Structure 1
Amino acid sequence: MNGTLNETTSWAGRSVHLPIVAYLAPPLYGIIFLVGFVGNSLVIYVVARFAEMRNVTNYFIMNLAVTDLAFLVFCVPFTAASYILPSWVFGLSMCKFVHYMMQVTAQATCLTLAIMSIDRYCAIVHPIGSLGFRKRRIAIVLNICTWIASFLLALPVVLYYELVPIPWFGIRTFCRPVWPSPSFEQGYMIYTVLITYFIPLVVCAVMCGFILKRLWNRFKTSETRPRNHALQTRRISFMVIGVVVLFTLCWLPNHALNLWRMVNIKNKVTTTVYYLKVIALFLSYANSAINPFVYTFVGENFRNCLRQMCHRRKDSALAQKAKVTSKPSYNTGTTTVTAPTKISVRGPSSALSAGGGTRGSVKQMSPNKWDVLEVEE
Structure 2
Amino acid sequence: MSGITGNLDCEECFSSAHVANSTDVHSAVDEDDELLRYIWREYLHPKQYEWVLIVAYIIVFFVSLIGNSLVCFAVWKNRHMRTVTNYFIVNLSLADVLVTIICLPASLVVDITETWFFGKTLCKVVPYLQTISVSVSVLTLSCIAQDRWYAICHPLMFKSTAKRARKSIVVIWVVSCIIMIPQAIVMECSSLLPELTNKTRLFTVCDEHWGAEIYPKVYHTCFFIVTYFAPLCLMVLAYIQICHKLWCQQIPGSTSVLQRKWRSIQCSAPTAGQGESVRVQTSTVCAEIKQVRARRKTARMLMVVLFVFALCYLPISVLNVMKRVFGTFKKINDRETVYAWFTFSHWLIYANSAANPIIYNFLSGKFREEFKSAFSCHCYGQDPNRTTRIRKRTSTDSRKSLSTQVNNVDNLSRISDHIV
What residue in structure 2 maps to residue 267 of structure 1?
Answer: 331
Instruction: Give 3-state SS (helix, strand or coil) of 2:188's partner.
Output: strand
Aligned in 2, Cα 1:313/1:281: closer, same or farther, shift over 3 Å? closer
Deviation at 1:291, TM superposition (A): 1.3
For 2:78, the aligned partner's letter is: F
Question: TM-score, normalising length from structure 1?
Answer: 0.76
What residue in structure 2 maps to residue 358 of structure 1?
Answer: none
Q: Deviations over 1:15-67 (max 9, x none)?
A: x7373154232221111111111110000111111111112111111101111
Percent identity over the alignment is 26
For 1:299, the aligned partner's letter is: S
Deviation at 1:245, TM superposition (A): 2.4
Distance 1:97 1:110 in 2: 20
For 1:208, the aligned partner's letter is: Y
Deviation at 1:365, TM superposition (A): 8.2
Mapping 1:314-333, distance limit 5 Å: 316=381
What residue in structure 2 maps to residue 206 of structure 1?
Answer: 237
What residue in structure 1 maps to residue 139 of structure 2?
Answer: 111
Deviation at 1:314, TM superposition (A): 7.2
What residue in structure 1 maps to residue 306 of structure 2?
Answer: 244
CA contact (8 A) 2:96 2:353 kept: yes
Matched, 1:222 2:257: yes
What residue in structure 1 maps to residue 99 of structure 2?
Answer: 71
Aligned in 2, Cα 1:23/1:293: closer, same or farther, shift over 3 Å? closer
Distance 1:42 1:57 in 2: 16
Distance 1:204 1:91 in 2: 39
Aligned in 2, Cα 1:44/1:189: closer, same or farther, shift over 3 Å? same
What residue in structure 2 maps to residue 350 of structure 1?
Answer: 392
Aligned in 2, Cα 1:62/1:364: closer, same or farther, shift over 3 Å? farther
CA contact (8 A) 2:71 2:357 kept: yes
Distance 2:229 2:383 in 1: 53
Distance 2:150 2:158 in 1: 6
Matched, 1:289 2:354: yes
Aligned in 2, Cα 1:364/1:266: closer, same or farther, shift over 3 Å? same
Distance 2:323 2:195 in 1: 23
CA contact (8 A) 2:146 2:238 kept: yes
Q: Deviations over 1:278-316 (max 9, x none)?
A: 222222221111112324652122223334445656784
Aligned in 2, Cα 1:159/1:222: closer, same or farther, shift over 3 Å? same
* Higher deviation after alignment, 145-154 or 22-31: 22-31
Q: Deviations over 1:128-163 (max 9, x none)?
A: 4433xx111111110010000010011012211111
Distance 1:364 1:130 in 2: 33
What residue in structure 1 maps to residue 130 of structure 2?
Answer: 102
CA contact (8 A) 1:104 1:154 kept: yes
What residue in structure 2 maps to residue 333 of structure 1?
Answer: none
Counterpart selection for 1:83 from 87, 92, 111: 111
For 1:222, the aligned partner's letter is: V
Deviation at 1:108, TM superposition (A): 0.8
Instruction: Give 3-state SS (helix, strand or coil) of 1:222's partner.
Output: helix
What residue in structure 1 maps to residue 174 of structure 2?
Answer: 148
CA contact (8 A) 2:109 2:115 kept: no
What residue in structure 2 maps to residue 187 of structure 1?
Answer: 218
> 5+ residue gaps in structure 2?
6-38, 198-202, 260-284, 406-420
Aligned in 2, Cα 1:267/1:365: closer, same or farther, shift over 3 Å? same
What residue in structure 2 maps to residue 328 of structure 1?
Answer: none
Instruction: Give 3-state SS (helix, strand or coil) of 1:164's partner.
Output: strand
Distance 1:270 1:159 in 2: 28
Counterpart selection for 2:75 from 47, 52, 72: 47
For 1:289, the aligned partner's letter is: A
CA contact (8 A) 1:193 1:255 kept: yes
Distance 1:318 1:349 in 2: 14
Choose 1 or 2 for highest CA Rg: 2
For 1:164, the aligned partner's letter is: S
Aligned in 2, Cα 1:235/1:59: closer, same or farther, shift over 3 Å? closer
CA contact (8 A) 2:87 2:165 kept: yes
Instruction: Give 3-state SS (helix, strand or coil) of 1:19's partner.
Output: coil
Deviation at 1:174, TM superposition (A): 1.3
Instruction: Give 3-state SS (helix, strand or coil) of 2:4's partner.
Output: helix
Matched, 1:34 2:96: no
For 2:56, the aligned partner's letter is: L
What residue in structure 1 maps to residue 208 of structure 2?
Answer: 177
For 1:350, the aligned partner's letter is: K
Aligned in 2, Cα 1:249/1:315: closer, same or farther, shift over 3 Å? closer
Higher helix share: 2
Deviation at 1:190, TM superposition (A): 0.9
Coordinate RMSD, CA, aligned:
3.3
Question: TM-score, normalising length from structure 2?
Answer: 0.68
Distance 1:344 1:38 in 2: 22
Matched, 1:304 2:369: yes
